Structure 1
Amino acid sequence: MTKAGPASVEFRNVSMRYGAVTAVDDVSFAIEAGKLVTLLGPSGCGKTTTLRMIAGLEIASAGQILIGGKDVTRLSAADRDVSMVFQSYALFPHMSVLENAAYGPTVKGLGKDVAREMALSKLALVGLKGFENRYPSELSGGQQQRVAVARALVLEPQVLLFDEPLSNLDAKLRRRVREEIRELQQSLNLTVAYVTHDQEEALAVSDRIIVMSNSRIAQEGAPRELYEEPANAFVADFIGDANLIDVTIRSVAEGRADVAIGSASVSLPARGLGPGPARVAVRPESLILSEGAGAGLPGTIRKCTYLGNHLDIIVETEAADLFVVQYGARPMLAEGTSVKLGFANSGVTLIPPG
């Protein structure tokens, strides 16, 4: 059975309405063949509905969906070359690991021996060789997750979909399994659409991230781009921690803005903004804390918390109470200590006001 290989996915002005409720509102994006793109956002933002529309489990109310350049908007799930790994794994409890993995080719009538060979090769690929005769109830959460992935991979779909695949795992296992998914995706050159509300997970696995808010796309881009250059307050606050500070742009020249943050002055890329009120999103690790005299924004330590490999510090300033993170072995700072805050070259970004 020759397979076409990974396929691109494209949404053109796609909407999904349930009566008066719009779950997805005029969304357009593209996933390149062989890339992992994450749909990231809070509950109810439309990310799972978008994933289900790729799968054909929901049929779009408006717009066009293309897989591998072919219009599949009206095709049912059975007529799309797509597999989905569900949040609950949806394994059949009465079937062995091998029978679960062989389910797809068996249903397609490929014959017992062919289905068995296909399942065995994918189970080996996800590290479950030797587990073929066990039942789901005899496996750990991480192993069940791998069976679900093997079952989804067995027919070598053009697109593989993951819906919150790590939410049932504990924190340490989550990190390991997300690395396994990423390695598998890259080594097999799979096209993957991946849904999560966990921003660290999205940063770790993705080629690109589509951040969704209120049924629309708030911003899309590479992980670093979204973290270092958020388009607005929602993205800045949703991807990582951010201090959002009201500031004044005093002047703009040659694409750079002279910005007043309290009594401190900073020069930042203007990002299309002109003189007047604006906001700055500052990552906690981009605030440089020093004691004694010198330039910077004056402040007072209000809280300092030791967390092993870093300190979490709250500094009261005239601009706002700011959250600062200091990594490495640092001395604790006493409450009431006077400090100055400087701003690093990255992780300090102008965003529109409001």
Structure 2
Amino acid sequence: MSQSGPASVEFRQVSKRYGEVTAVNAVSFTIAPGTLVTLLGPSGCGKTTTLRLIAGLEMASEGQILIGGEDVTRLSAAERGVSMVFQSYALFPHMNVLENAAYGPTVSGLPRKQAEAMAAEKLALMGLTGFEKRLPSELSGGQQQRVAVARALVLEPRVLLFDEPLSNLDAKLRRRVREDIRELQQRLNLTVAYVTHDQEEALAVSDRIIVMSNAVIAQEGTPRDLYEQPADLFVADFIGDSNIVDAEILSVSGDIADVRLGNLRLALPHRGVAKGPAKLAVRPEAVTVTAAGGQDGLAGDITKAAYLGSHMEYSIRTAEGTFFVIDEDVARPLALGTPVTISCRSTGATLLLPT
């Protein structure tokens, strides 16, 4: 397979079965060349199996897999022009950084000097010049991760695969390394398939996100699409926090529905949801909280309050259910038991499609 330039990835009705268990069920999607697409979902949803199917580490039970328009369904991993960065980094402990990074071209039969020159170039790209002689045990977790990426890049893959690459790093380092991966992907114009169960990570790095649930695709779209227009209860709850509440569509005019939530009225895109009872997803940052009295809204009282530095988190009990609320007013926190009134901004409320 040609190794020049980023390649598209296409799944056509791909399934993977292990005996009676279906890990991936008739999945179809396309990753455009030079984009970063994240496979997101809970444990056991099929995302890692899907990544391994792209890599050729698993073979499809049914369907077609194309890379750069070429059918690779029956090709081995070595013939696909892809590289994978594993969750564990999989560095050889007895080899130094340069030897680890040069491993791929070395076992492919290239002369050692040429392989090491290629490796040194990619290590420099990852900011690891000067670390060539160190062993993995002498590196931090973030540095080990960079070596693993450099080793994957040495082979100049048409598609680069990441399997939970940040799960072994602490929270602050995770943010920095995910920014590095995104910057590298854009600078080198790489096609990347990226697996994570962390929705914030997915929102931060992705051009598009494929949310998987129970071996199928629940929804696919841009980070903004998925956050602001979740297709169903599962996606609304998985991508960020949502308050899922019962509401009623009173009427529909054009694209807009007149929605009643208790004594609140909201004008929202109807998204094809019919008049009558409906489910509404309300983002916690879309809920405004005021001290009780003097304003229309849902009456409630604060049952939980937590200070998180940049914002307050409240649980507010109302007749319509308990709302989780993020409030940026940390200067005037509300105490437990305080009676309040809440209302919702239309920009953070979405009617959910019936399942």
Length-normalised TM-score, structure 2: 0.97
1:45 paired residue number: 45
1:218 paired residue number: 218
1:137 paired residue number: 137
CA contact (8 A) 1:46 1:216 kept: yes
SS in 2 for 1:17: strand
Could you tell me how far 1:118 is from its partner in structure 2?
0.3
Which residue identity lines up with residue 269 of structure 2 in the other structure?
P
Q: Are residues 1:332 and 2:330 paired?
A: no
Which residue identity lines up with residue 198 of structure 1 in the other structure?
D
Could you tell me how far 1:149 is from its partner in structure 2?
0.3
Which residue identity lines up with residue 228 of structure 1 in the other structure?
E
Could you give the per-residue CA deviations for residues 29-63 of structure 1, whole angstroms, max 9, x where no partner exists?
00000000000000000000000000000010001
Counterpart Cα distance in 1 of 2:325 and 2:31: 36
2:352 paired residue number: 351
CA contact (8 A) 1:277 1:353 kept: no
1:321 paired residue number: 322
1:261 paired residue number: 261
SS in 1 for 2:50: helix
Which residue identity lines up with residue 300 of structure 2 in the other structure?
G
2:166 paired residue number: 166
Q: Percentage identity across aligned positions?
A: 68
Could you give the per-residue CA deviations for residues 314-336 of structure 1, whole angstroms, max 9, x where no partner exists?
11111111111111433111233
Counterpart Cα distance in 2 of 1:131 and 1:294: 62
Could you tell me how far 1:353 is from its partner in structure 2?
4.9
Counterpart Cα distance in 1 of 2:65 and 2:230: 27
Could you tell me how far 1:303 is from its partner in structure 2?
2.4
Which residue identity lines up with residue 344 of structure 1 in the other structure?
R
Counterpart Cα distance in 1 of 2:42 and 2:230: 16
2:23 paired residue number: 23
Name stretches of at least 5 consecutive residues in structure 1 with no aligned partner.
none
Which residue identity lines up with residue 165 of structure 2 in the other structure?
P
Q: Where in structure 2 are the equivalents of 1:73-92 lying within 5 Å? A: 73-92=73-92
Which residue identity lines up with residue 178 of structure 2 in the other structure?
R
CA contact (8 A) 1:229 1:347 kept: no
Counterpart Cα distance in 2 of 1:218 and 1:115: 43
Could you tell me how far 1:179 is from its partner in structure 2?
0.7
Counterpart Cα distance in 2 of 1:185 and 1:344: 36
CA contact (8 A) 1:246 1:353 kept: no
CA contact (8 A) 2:262 2:320 kept: yes
Q: Where in structure 2 are the equivalents of 1:277-296 lying within 5 Å? A: 277-291=277-291, 292-296=293-297
CA contact (8 A) 1:311 1:330 kept: no
Shifted more, 344-353 versus 34-43: the winner is 344-353
Counterpart Cα distance in 1 of 2:326 and 2:308: 10
SS in 1 for 2:347: coil
CA contact (8 A) 1:11 1:30 kept: yes
Could you give the per-residue CA deviations for residues 266-314 of structure 1, whole angstroms, max 9, x where no partner exists?
1111000111111110110000112221222222222222221111111
Counterpart Cα distance in 1 of 2:11 and 2:354: 30
Q: Are residues 1:304 and 2:310 paired?
A: no
Counterpart Cα distance in 2 of 1:168 and 1:336: 40
Which residue identity lines up with residue 101 of structure 2 in the other structure?
A
Which residue identity lines up with residue 306 of structure 1 in the other structure?
Y
Name stretches of at least 5 consecutive residues in structure 2 with no aligned partner.
none
Pairs aligned (count): 353
CA contact (8 A) 2:3 2:81 kept: no
SS in 2 for 1:278: strand
Counterpart Cα distance in 2 of 1:90 and 1:35: 25
SS in 2 for 1:57: coil
2:194 paired residue number: 194
Counterpart Cα distance in 1 of 2:172 and 2:187: 23
Counterpart Cα distance in 2 of 1:139 and 1:257: 57
CA contact (8 A) 2:271 2:353 kept: no
